């Protein structure tokens, strides 16, 4: 499977942005994508963004409500919306571009499931991110394999509120386009209101996908470190699912730092940082991230942009950004 290649001239316009390429290249059969995602650039060539639009089956108004709420998300491993469409036009939201691959694309590039170290780092980073959201009295309600992007310095969680945007509470959601049946908590599939323990279920399914290639594996398909944790996360009874602090404790065993008890900033207080050092991603995935970054840069150079003074384009990602830690 090819990584998104931005070498072709793009002509589609979404709001003020010119589409460079699609972010997702895999088919819905591999892992449904809750929204349409693109890499795009501003008309003046100064900004590159990840741009999302709703699926044709999604209510644009609900999609925009979730995008607006995502602006208040905290932490380095989320990509909140930073710009929203104005009323009266096509629904979209944008956030700064980070060279990254959707988790299903990363597995395809890697030729199969990811190494245990990668999965552990992914698990702790996502669990910490969800813990901060829950501390903000928010439920993500959109975590699935396609919602996770893998960047050189760590994962990024997207698709906030995809379950709520797909259908209102009380309406069955099982089988709706864009929602991954294997990662959709059963209580939400039946139409229940998304709650924090539903995010734990989706986390278990996402980790199973990263470690085994699908969201409902047999215990023997999982690495030993996940054989107890993932089935507990995937319990149909929310009361039997572990707390996020338990997930972090089980998988961040080599970190002496305490579990976050309320949000006071990441960095020194994040146990994921001890797992996200050099080598956390397989070499093939790193190479694909570099290729994507270079391809986007090359495509933007070829796309027509207004005349400007000579010199590098400010705000443009350099291919090296996929090798060295980069946070917008």
CATH code at position 58: 3.30.200.20
Amino acid 267: pLDDT: 44
Residue 52 to residue 282: CA distance in whole angstroms: 27
**Contact of 55 with 34, CB cutoff 8 Å:** yes
Structural domain contains residue 282: no
Asked if 86 and 127 sit in the same domain, the reply is no
Burial of 223 (0-12, 13-18, 19+ CB in 10 A): middle
Burial of 146 per CB tally in 10 Å (0-12, 13-18, 19+): buried
In a domain, 199, yes or no: yes
Kindly list the distances between the CA atom of residue 253 and the CA atoms of 122, 207, 208, 249, 257, in Å, as whole numbers in the listed order: 14, 17, 19, 6, 10
- Return the residue matching tokens 């979209």: 92
Note the pLDDT of residue 320.
Answer: 35
- Domain range for residue 34? 13-99+289-307
pLDDT of residue 310: 44
The CA distance from 303 to 22, in Å, is: 16
Distance CA 234, CA 199 (A): 10
pLDDT-flagged residues of the chain (< 50): 7-8, 10, 27-28, 256-268, 305-328
Provide the pLDDT for residue 29. 52
Last residue of a domain, one of 231, 251, 274: 274
In this structure, are 253 and 194 located in the same domain?
A: yes
Domain presence at residue 297: yes
pLDDT value, residue 261: 40
Cα maximum dimension of the chain: 61
Count of other CB atoms within 10 angstroms of residue 315:
16
The domain spanning residue 197 has which CATH number?
Answer: 1.10.510.10
Same domain? For 115 and 153 the reply is yes
Tell me which residue of 16, 52, 12 sits closest to 146, measured CA to CA.
52
Nearest Cα neighbor of 239 from 291, 296, 197, 298 is: 197
Asked if residues 292 and 322 have their Cβ atoms less than 8 Å apart, the reply is yes
69 shares a domain with 120? no
Rounded CA separation 226/118 (Å): 13
Domain count of the fold of the chain: 2
Residue 316: inside a domain:
no
Per-residue pLDDT at 163: 96
CA dihedral 168, 123, 151, 188 (to 10 degrees): -10
pTM of the complete model = 0.85
- Please indicate, yes or no, whether residues 198 and 143 belong to a single structural domain of this protein: yes
Domain-located, residue 313 = no
């Amino acid at each position: 499977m090819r990584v998104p290649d931005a070498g072709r001239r793009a002509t589609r316009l979404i709001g003020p942005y010119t589409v460079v390429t699609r972010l997702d290249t895999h088919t819905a059969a591999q892992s449904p994508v809750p929204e349409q995602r693109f890499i795009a650039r501003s008309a003046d060539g100064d900004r590159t963004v990840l741009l999302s639009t709703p699926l044709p089956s999604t209510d644009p108004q609900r999609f925009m409500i979730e995008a607006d709420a995502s602006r208040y998300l905290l932490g380095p491993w989320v990509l909140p919306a930073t710009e929203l469409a104005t009323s009266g036009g096509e629904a979209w939201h944008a956030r700064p571009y980070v060279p990254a691959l959707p988790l299903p694309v990363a597995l395809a590039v890697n030729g199969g499931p990811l190494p245990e170290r990668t999965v552990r780092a992914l698990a702790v980073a996502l669990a910490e991110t969800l813990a901060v959201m829950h501390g903000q009295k928010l439920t993500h309600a959109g975590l699935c394999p396609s919602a996770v992007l893998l960047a050189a310095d760590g994962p990024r969680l997207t698709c906030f509120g995809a379950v709520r945007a797909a259908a209102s509470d009380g309406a069955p959601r099982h089988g709706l386009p864009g929602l991954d049946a294997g990662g959709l908590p059963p209580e939400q599939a039946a139409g229940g209101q998304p709650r924090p323990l539903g995010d734990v279920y989706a986390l278990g399914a996402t980790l199973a996908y990263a470690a085994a290639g699908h969201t409902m594996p047999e215990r023997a398909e999982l690495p030993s470190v996940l054989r107890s944790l993932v089935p507990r996360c995937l319990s149909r009874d929310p009361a039997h699912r572990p707390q996020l602090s338990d997930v972090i404790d089980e998988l961040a065993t080599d970190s002496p730092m305490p579990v976050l008890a309320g949000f006071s900033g990441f960095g020194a207080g994040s146990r994921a940082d001890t797992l996200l050092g050099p080598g956390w991603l397989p070499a093939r995935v790193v190479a694909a991230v570099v290729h994507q970054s270079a391809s986007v840069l090359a495509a933007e150079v070829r796309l027509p942009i207004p005349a400007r003074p000579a010199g590098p384009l400010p705000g443009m990602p350099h291919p090296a950004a996929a090798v060295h830690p980069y946070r917008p």
